[in-house]
A and B are shown apart, each in its own frame.
Chain A
């Protein structure tokens, strides 16, 4: 396998659209030819070599090509869009549409990714070591085909609208997810190892969702069907099975209606009951307060920034109102 090394040397002033960074485009090209490929910044067109240093060369085919991207790539969009084979490894963070409409191969992002990653994915493997933002593995606006195949693994948290219109493939999220998980899903498998915020499986027709933590508030249109032993990660576990969405159309197989299923580990059913709202008063200790103060010293942070920081470091989900008071307090 031939390796192409891209290093971002010049941080773009706006955002860079780099849909040409895929093994499909790099295959059979020398470093110089790769450097000639286009990247876009607003209404201007530049070359990859204007922003990146290129080393190595592409393999004979896409499958023989591996791309290693390093440097501050936070502002680069569309990496690996529509790739069909080969491998991409990103050392840092990437922006939106990483692995969008991916059909094959492998992308490994060692940092965080932004929204709309892996949308409309049909195959391949997408691994994120950090967090993903909203619309992970969802569909493009108006499309009824979201993720249709392949595998998405996010080791951190994911945002809202994950797996909208999913109808195949597997998503594995190590952390928590925000609202609207698997909306309109018509197949596929989602595993959330942390907590889910709510509206899990809204309008779901078919498919499986595993939430190994808590579901903060189950949809009223899901009905507890009973306990079932299901194999997950190679070992059998007992799960409470919720079926639904009762408000949505459902197909029949052998005279039996097929519902979407949400699996919650047994023993956590109480927390998953719809009336129970996990709304404990959440406060920071003095030590944590000091840490927040230190982190935002001399800045004017927004409520969202502080909230995200608190969520990421202490795993406390504070209400925006609380955070805003906290910021006022710190200023004083």
Chain B
């Protein structure tokens, strides 16, 4: 016999699919089958319940480079001491955990005068900067499914990064006003490469790499009917730019999805700034919205929690007791590069694999703790690695979808025996930090 859980949330990407069916054995210890999920999502469930390769107890880096198993209490003590004694600790990550844990983490950060940053720093942080500059006309994915007949994918490749995004929301589904599904939609893909998403497009604007800003501004001018200088604009023929502008204006409801191709290429926040302004301009002719293709399943949630607690969505500096914010100064990469911090705490992220080498070297030099269910490049260089239960698989909690819709993740199996969750671990650290700070 087996048990079946329906409507399970997938803790992989920002699409946060909520229709998974997971079959477990009778005791709820092992996952036997996952339905409806994409290949990556299914693998995340299946491999979580395979306990043979999991680290189940914290471990500490020894002088000879090997790791020695320690108890959770020792790990809590080390983490609390490190954070409480540091002059400017950094607490980075937060994107692969639930909002409840984030909230506890922020309380620790406030007590210790830490920097709190999430993975938006290397991802959609620039989007958040642009939103502060010019605002954002946005909508939910449900509206996209039911209404959108013009869809732009700018610098993103959902075919690989958000596998079910196209079938659930953006290209294929038949919604209330979009009964004919794909036939009713016009898809524009802007990407320097012919990607798998581009193969589904009606128009593929093959922009010259690093010139998105020029193309966006040219589109804005074309939408206004103004003239442009030059025959080729950022790698795209001028006529094609005017054609694309007409195509966008002729729709009933349009949406722009954008990804790392614009947020982290030359110009960064200015690219998004121009994309948002394009959306605003198009609203003079038709209804248009813009949505960021957020990566981690709860990076949006981290921005939300930081937002309501401190007023800023990422790169928050609490070292002076009040919240300050300025990516470029308080971002984790910058402070690591400039050697501005003296302790590093990582939870639910892998800077070791994604940060510049210089920053990774700095992490390995500093006192550091990594909280992660897996062994990753980060846990390999941090002084202490604390394994925890998988959020969304072994523990529930609140998560935010890429369009800022909160969805409650569900627990489907039991974690390995004696393992702590993010929240439990952070609460224990908070208790110890309070004791240390009281003296």
Contact A43 to B88, CB < 8 A, known contacts A15-B340, A140-B326, A247-B218: yes
Contact A246 to B270, CB < 8 A, known contacts A41-B87, A221-B217: no
B133 touches A275 (CB 8 A): no
The smallest C-beta distance from B213 to any residue of chain A, in angstroms, reads: 6
Question: Does B8 interact with chain A (Cβ within 8 Å)?
Answer: no
Cα distance A17–B357 in the bound complex, in angstroms: 27
B328 touches A274 (CB 8 A): no
B328 touches A203 (CB 8 A): no
Q: CB-defined interface of A168-179 with B at 8 Å, one 1/0 digit per residue? A: 000000000001
Cα distance A318–B289 in the bound complex, in angstroms: 40
A29-52 contacts to B (CB < 8 Å): 40-44
Contact A141 to B326, CB < 8 A, known contacts A221-B228, A223-B227, A247-B221: yes
A246 touches B228 (CB 8 A): yes
Question: In the assembled complex, which residues on chain A have CB atoms less than 8 Å from the CB atom of B3?
Answer: none
Q: CB-defined interface of B61-89 with A at 8 Å, one 1/0 digit per residue? A: 00000000000000000000000001110
Q: Which of B150-158, B229-237, B419-427 contacts A (4 or more CB under 8 A)?
A: B229-237
B87 touches A220 (CB 8 A): no
Q: Closest B residue to A144 by CB, please name it.
A: B133
B274 touches A42 (CB 8 A): no
Cα distance A161–B216 in the bound complex, in angstroms: 18
Question: Does B239 interact with chain A (Cβ within 8 Å)?
Answer: no
Cα distance A247–B279 in the bound complex, in angstroms: 12
Question: Does A289 interact with chain B (Cβ within 8 Å)?
Answer: no
Q: Which of A42, A224, A246 counts the most chain B CB atoms within 10 A?
A: A42
Contact A42 to B230, CB < 8 A, known contacts A179-B266, A219-B214: no
Q: Which of A180, A183, A220 counts the most chain B CB atoms within 10 A?
A: A220
Contact A42 to B87, CB < 8 A, known contacts A142-B133, A220-B234: yes
A207-228 contacts to B (CB < 8 Å): 217-224
B342 touches A42 (CB 8 A): yes
The smallest C-beta distance from B136 to any residue of chain A, in angstroms, reads: 12
Q: Closest B residue to A275 by CB, please name it.
A: B230
The smallest C-beta distance from B26 to any residue of chain A, in angstroms, reads: 51
Additional A-B contacts beyond A13-B342, A220-B217 (9; CB < 8 A): A42-B341, A43-B319, A116-B326, A183-B270, A203-B274, A220-B214, A220-B230, A246-B228, A275-B232
20 pairs from A and B in contact (CB 8 Å cutoff): A40-B320, A42-B86, A42-B319, A42-B341, A43-B87, A116-B326, A135-B328, A141-B132, A144-B133, A184-B273, A199-B213, A203-B270, A220-B228, A220-B233, A220-B234, A246-B228, A248-B220, A248-B277, A275-B231, A302-B357
A179 touches B338 (CB 8 A): no
B238-296 contacts to A (CB < 8 Å): 266-267, 270, 273-274, 277, 281
The smallest C-beta distance from A328 to any residue of chain B, in angstroms, reads: 15
A14 touches B342 (CB 8 A): yes
Question: In the assembled complex, which residues on chain B have CB atoms less than 8 Å from the CB atom of A248?
Answer: 217, 220, 277
* Chain A binding surface, main DSSP class: loop
Q: Which of A13, A43, A183 contacts B112 (CB 8 A)?
A: A43
Contact A134 to B328, CB < 8 A, known contacts A42-B88, A142-B132: yes
Question: Does A105 interact with chain B (Cβ within 8 Å)?
Answer: no
A74-129 contacts to B (CB < 8 Å): 96, 115-116
Q: CB-defined interface of B349-378 with A at 8 Å, one 1/0 digit per residue? A: 000000001100000000000000000000
Question: In the assembled complex, which residues on chain A have CB atoms less than 8 Å from the CB atom of B273?
Answer: 183-184, 203
Q: CB-defined interface of B184-209 with A at 8 Å, one 1/0 digit per residue? A: 00000000000000000000000000
Q: Closest B residue to A17 by CB, please name it.
A: B320
Cα distance A14–B281 in the bound complex, in angstroms: 46
Cα distance A222–B214 in the bound complex, in angstroms: 11
Q: CB-defined interface of A139-177 with B at 8 Å, one 1/0 digit per residue? A: 011101000000000000000010001000000000000
Cα distance A5–B234 in the bound complex, in angstroms: 53
Cα distance A43–B234 in the bound complex, in angstroms: 47
9 closest A-B pairs by CB: A43-B113, A42-B88, A247-B220, A142-B132, A42-B87, A246-B226, A246-B221, A247-B221, A274-B230
Question: Does A59 interact with chain B (Cβ within 8 Å)?
Answer: no
A195-210 contacts to B (CB < 8 Å): 199, 202-203
Q: Closest B residue to A140 by CB, please name it.
A: B326
The smallest C-beta distance from A245 to any residue of chain B, in angstroms, reads: 6
The smallest C-beta distance from A129 to any residue of chain B, in angstroms, reads: 22
Question: In the assembled complex, which residues on chain A have CB atoms less than 8 Å from the CB atom of B227?
Answer: 223, 246
Question: In the assembled complex, which residues on chain A have CB atoms less than 8 Å from the CB atom of B87?
Answer: 13-14, 41-44
Q: Which of A116, A134, A140, A219 counts the most chain B CB atoms within 10 A?
A: A219
Question: Does B7 interact with chain A (Cβ within 8 Å)?
Answer: no
Q: Which of A41, A44, A165, A218 contacts B229 (CB 8 A)?
A: A218
Contact A223 to B88, CB < 8 A, known contacts A183-B270, A199-B267, A248-B220: no
Question: In the assembled complex, which residues on chain A have CB atoms less than 8 Å from the CB atom of B113?
Answer: 42-43
Question: In the assembled complex, which residues on chain A have CB atoms less than 8 Å from the CB atom of B339?
Answer: 14
B310-330 contacts to A (CB < 8 Å): 319-321, 325-329
Cα distance A275–B237 in the bound complex, in angstroms: 12
Cα distance A199–B266 in the bound complex, in angstroms: 10
Q: Which of B224, B267, B320, B327 contacts A247 (CB 8 A)?
A: B224
Cα distance A115–B216 in the bound complex, in angstroms: 27
Question: In the assembled complex, which residues on chain A have CB atoms less than 8 Å from the CB atom of B217?
Answer: 202-203, 219-221, 245, 247-248
Question: Does B129 interact with chain A (Cβ within 8 Å)?
Answer: yes
Cα distance A165–B213 in the bound complex, in angstroms: 17
B220 touches A220 (CB 8 A): no
Q: Closest A residue to B112 by CB, please name it.
A: A43
Q: Which of A15, A134, A180, A246 contacts B267 (CB 8 A)?
A: A180
